[in-house]
């Protein structure tokens, strides 16, 4: 048994002082340090130091490790400009993304306190790296493909990857991702959702990310029309916004982005028990706009803040993302938003994906991120804000009770 003794602790959505945690691989007891010492006289006591704040390990729900080699290759500013550059440079980026590059990306997440991440896997190339990392990985095997002639081949490759992730163990949680409404044929999509439903696997999908996607799904026109003519020789979208949403009626899904969703779509998403991944930096860099957080909050839709991959971001540091979210939603109350953002990388994603983490509670996994503030905070209520403003790197990190940093 060990005991962690921080100055401050994030518990039940608030900050408290003089509370310590006794743990093995799970949290055993939460109480005053003296009471824990009496109860566990042989326990190793770890004092977290001055101005330390203990959080449950952070959860980054949406990244693309296979594209981690990108720094100055892909073009930002507009979604179609970016997509064109992905198609043009995809093979080169994938070829140059070796295990060392992916490990570096994972290390960046560890340094920022991420103990669980959601990896969207297009090819399965990163499964080994994900098996080796101490983090827990929701491994979203991605289905993509719109051409009917190739659907069977693509679908059987998808099933092989799903199977490999099921056999992986080592903290891998098998899951599926539908790439998007414009890139997956509805027949394959429905089959994949049946597989996910049968095995109770988490599901995610990119949806309503760019204005161009919205225009294409609504009227079959715009920049996407040129794109599809050029690369796929098609001129009609395979589905509509409402139809695509209805495919997920019986399978709660993590919708990625939704920057172009209107209130009626968000209402539908709320009604069907879905959730959202919010990636503010990726959305800004690809010219996609801003998620309507005011409506998301009004409708009480669970959401996570996630970095997205290095194909559309400059870092996988979750603090960078939280900082950007704080700046981009400038109409929100600063203190309340800070606390909401902390919950969007802890309790909310844990609940969305049914993880036994994301909260400091007895029986939960002993996943901890410990940060240090530069000075003592005058108010406990402001600690979330100070954490986001002043942290780049955690002081220490535990996963299942093991000290990683």
Task: List active site positions.
Answer: 209
How far is the CA of 203 from the CAs of 61, 62, 126, 274, 291, in angstroms?
A: 11, 12, 19, 10, 20
- CB neighbours of 201 closer than 8 A, spacing ≥ 6? 162, 174, 175, 176, 195
Task: Quote the CA–CA distance of 160 and 141 in Å, as a whole number.
Answer: 10
What are the structure tokens assigned to 186, written together? 């509805």
**Which helix (H) or strand (E) is 15 found in, with range?**
strand 14-17
Backbone φ, ψ for residue 257 (5° rounding): 85, -80
Place of tokens 């995610």: 204
Contacts of residue 279, Cβ cutoff 8 Å, sequence gap at least 6: 62, 256, 257, 305, 306, 307, 308, 312, 313, 321
Q: How many CB atoms lie within 10 A of CB 168?
A: 17
Nearest alpha carbon to residue 105 among 264, 283, 315, 290 = 315
């Amino acid at each position: 048994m060990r005991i962690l003794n921080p100055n401050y602790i994030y518990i039940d959505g608030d900050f408290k002082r003089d509370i310590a945690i006794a743990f093995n691989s799970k949290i055993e007891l939460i109480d005053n340090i003296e009471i824990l010492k009496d109860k566990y006289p042989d326990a190793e006591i770890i004092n977290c130091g001055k101005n330390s704040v203990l959080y449950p390990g952070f959860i980054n729900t949406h990244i693309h490790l296979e594209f981690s080699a990108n720094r100055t290759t892909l073009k930002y500013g507009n979604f179609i400009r970016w997509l064109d550059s992905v198609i043009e440079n995809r093979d080169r980026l994938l070829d140059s993304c070796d295990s060392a590059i992916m490990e570096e990306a994972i290390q960046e997440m560890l340094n920022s306190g991420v103990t669980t991440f959601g990896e969207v896997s297009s090819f399965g190339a990163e499964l080994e790296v994900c098996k080796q990392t101490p983090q827990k990985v929701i491994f979203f095997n991605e289905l993509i493909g719109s051409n009917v002639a190739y659907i069977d081949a693509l679908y059987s490759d998808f099933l092989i990857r799903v199977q490999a992730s099921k056999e992986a163990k080592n903290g891998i949680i098998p899951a599926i991702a539908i790439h998007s409404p414009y890139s997956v044929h509805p027949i394959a999509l429905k089959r994949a959702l049946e597989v996910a439903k049968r095995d109770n696997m988490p599901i995610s999908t990119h949806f309503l990310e760019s204005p161009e996607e919205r225009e294409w799904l609504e009227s079959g026109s715009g920049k996407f029309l040129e794109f599809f003519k050029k690369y796929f020789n098609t001129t009609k979208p395979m589905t509509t916004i409402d139809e695509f949403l209805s495919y997920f009626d019986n399978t709660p899904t993590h919708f990625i982005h939704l920057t172009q969703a209107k209130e009626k779509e968000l209402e539908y998403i709320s009604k069907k028990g879905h959730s959202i991944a919010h990636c503010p930096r990726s959305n800004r860099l690809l010219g996609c706009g801003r998620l309507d957080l005011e409506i998301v909050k009004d409708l009480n839709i669970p959401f996570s803040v996630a970095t997205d991959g290095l194909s559309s971001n400059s870092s996988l540091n979750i603090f960078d993302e939280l900082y950007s979210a704080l700046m981009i939603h400038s109409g929100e109350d600063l203190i309340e938003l800070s606390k909401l953002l902390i919950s969007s990388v802890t309790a909310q994603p844990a609940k969305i994906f049914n993880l036994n983490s994301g909260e400091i509670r007895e029986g939960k996994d002993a996943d901890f991120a410990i940060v240090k503030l530069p000075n003592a905070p005058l108010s406990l209520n402001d600690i979330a804000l100070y954490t986001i403003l002043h942290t780049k790197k955690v002081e220490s990190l535990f996963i299942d009770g093991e000290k990683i940093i």
